[in-house]
Chains A and B, each alone.
Chain A
Amino acid sequence: MSRALAAAAAGLLLVAAPLLTSNTFVQHLLIMTLFAALLGAAWNLLGGYAGQVSFGHATFLGLGAYTTMLLHLRLGLSPWLALIAGGLLAALMAVPFGWICFRLRGPYFSLATLAVAEITRLVVLNWESLTAGPMGLLITTLPALTIFGKPVNWESKVPFYYVILILAALVTLATWRISRARLGAYLLAIREDMDSAEAAGIDTVRTRVLALALSAFFVGTAGGFYAIYFRYIDPDAVFAIALSVEMVFVPVVGGIATTFGPIVGAVFLTTLGEVFRDRFQSGHLIFYGFFMMIVIRFLPDGIWGRVRTLLVRRRAPNV
């Protein structure tokens, strides 16, 4: 009961948040927090639950962003439909990506994902007839849209906030459902021991590709959102290794293989990142890195992972 009440309060706060302030920087920060939560939660499906640590997830972000941009600019598709198409294309690309990388295990898998991501970035960078290469792609104006009889003001940040809120809520809901279903159990088995998972009758290749496709879908929609929100993309922005790494950090800080860990991680990393950037003009990444080291050393299960353990202990003190 108290849990339902807490969830309702949190939901209400999230819906009301952008209306509580007219400061566009704070609104932008809220959007970027949810953006990071979406990426972290999507990465967590494969990297957290299934233990397949990908350093190449920017591939899916970039593919989603470029698909969205190109479908809108070249074919005139509504950017919001194009965003979903971006997610679907990213999910489709999970098949060749997985076919290449899942032959390898552990650190070798991680290195392969990094390599594939760099190859994809270079292809997009050099395929100028399609992608305009390093010039990037630009949306000048977003098409008008009316919701409940009112035109949406695309110059305001508020509509973008609700789009990213819906996406982040969807991935969180998907994670919650999966973690309680057979698929979630299979992912944990794969993380624990691949041979034993096979011996228990689990098709480890199919299950990993499925997890990757789901993960890629959500990262692809995040890429589509990035394209529409910033209205400009180039290969170095959306295929950046830094983005792949951020997707790893968010669940690591929040709590790997937990439903709400990525949200907690996104809140901490986004706010701290901004505070450090504000306080220390040069070298703010040093403090960011220092913070990461402290978390990994003292909270190996992440912030939410630790809190969850303490909550369980309080409920059942004898265990």
Chain B
Amino acid sequence: MPLLRAIALTKDFGGLRAVSSLSFDLHAGEILGLIGPNGAGKTTAFNLIAGFIPATSGDVLLDGLSVLGLKPHAVVKRGIARTFQIVKPFRKLPVLENVTLAAFLHEPQRDRAEAQARRWLAFAGLEAQAERFASDLTLGEQKRLEIARALATKPRILLLDEPMGGLNPAEVDEACALVERIRAGGVSVILVEHHMKAIMRISDRVVVLHHGVKIGDAPPAEIVQNRDVIAAYLGEVAHA
């Protein structure tokens, strides 16, 4: 049984079908890339899975149990954590407190929650920034802070929404290494990303969305050969 299964997930915004009957599986220990042109419905798919917006129809099963219709915090408790495309750290709080807040989910004692938070900061390479305010971090650091915060809720699945957007090449390499460390730690990952080189390098499998419809689901090497995918990215002319 796959760890996570999306079944005919559909979302309408008024007359616009943002996600159309999307089905895919995520297996334990997998890094799944989710790509598609702007407006393809990637972030909407994340919002549906994480409970931030209600689905029009379809279902999401975690270990065979539906998580659709749960509030976001309840989805987190079941073991699905997320980051945001546009980072949303608790800006006026120290970096350590940002992560401690998430560690409180499983550890009500402050000193123990803080100790856990420090370990996650070290994991994300932010231990030196622990006492600074989140608003003082660079964008790359803020993205890593969000990942540390998500990990502190002890998820089984991590949904990363463009963790490499706006980063320089060195930071992209670091982010790739971080994602692979996360998987090595036993957390499965779904990764929305526009950075093609990175996603082709670290994904085990790639799902391609176009206008809310899945047009590809295969290992990276096959995806780059897929005629529909090439057409979606380069336009119809490319293969005419």
Contact = CB atoms under 8 A, between A and B. Distances in A.
A69 to B, nearest CB: 40
B187 to A, nearest CB: 15
A200 B110 contact: no
B77 interface: yes
Main secondary structure on chain A at its contact with chain B? Answer: helix
Contacts of A181: 110
Interface string A284-309: 00000000000000000000000000
A196 B73 contact: no
Contacts of B73: 197-198, 200-204
Interface in A145-184: 180-182
Contacts of B76: 198-201
B160 to A, nearest CB: 12
Most chain A beta carbons < 10 A, residue from B88, B108, B113: B88
B101 interface: yes
B104 A192 contact: no
A195 interface: yes
Contacts of B149: 196, 199-200
Contact of B101 (A180, A189, A195, A204): A189
Contacts of B153: 200-201
Given A188-B90, A195-B52, A199-B83, 9 more contacts: A182-B104, A185-B110, A192-B90, A196-B90, A196-B149, A198-B72, A199-B88, A201-B105, A201-B153
Given A185-B97, A198-B76, A201-B102, A193 B110 contact: no
Contacts of A197: 73, 101
B123 interface: no
Contacts of B90: 188-189, 192-193, 196
A192 B150 contact: no
A49 interface: no
For chain A, which range describes its interface: under 10, 10 to 19, 20 to 34, or 35 or more residues? Answer: 20 to 34
A35 interface: no
For chain B, which range describes its interface: under 10, 10 to 19, 20 to 34, or 35 or more residues? Answer: 20 to 34
Contacts of A201: 73, 76-77, 102, 104-105, 153
Interface string B102-123: 1011001010010000000000
A195 B89 CA distance: 10
Nearest to B92: A192
Interface in B167-192: none
B82 interface: yes
A198 B77 CA distance: 10
A193 B88 contact: yes
A109 interface: no
Given A192-B92, A193-B90, A195-B88, A185 B101 contact: yes
A249 interface: no
Contacts of B110: 180-182, 185
Interface in B65-102: 71-74, 76-77, 81-84, 88-93, 97, 100-102
B219 to A, nearest CB: 30
A97 interface: no
Given A192-B93, A193-B90, A199 B81 contact: yes
A221 to B, nearest CB: 28
Nearest to A188: B93
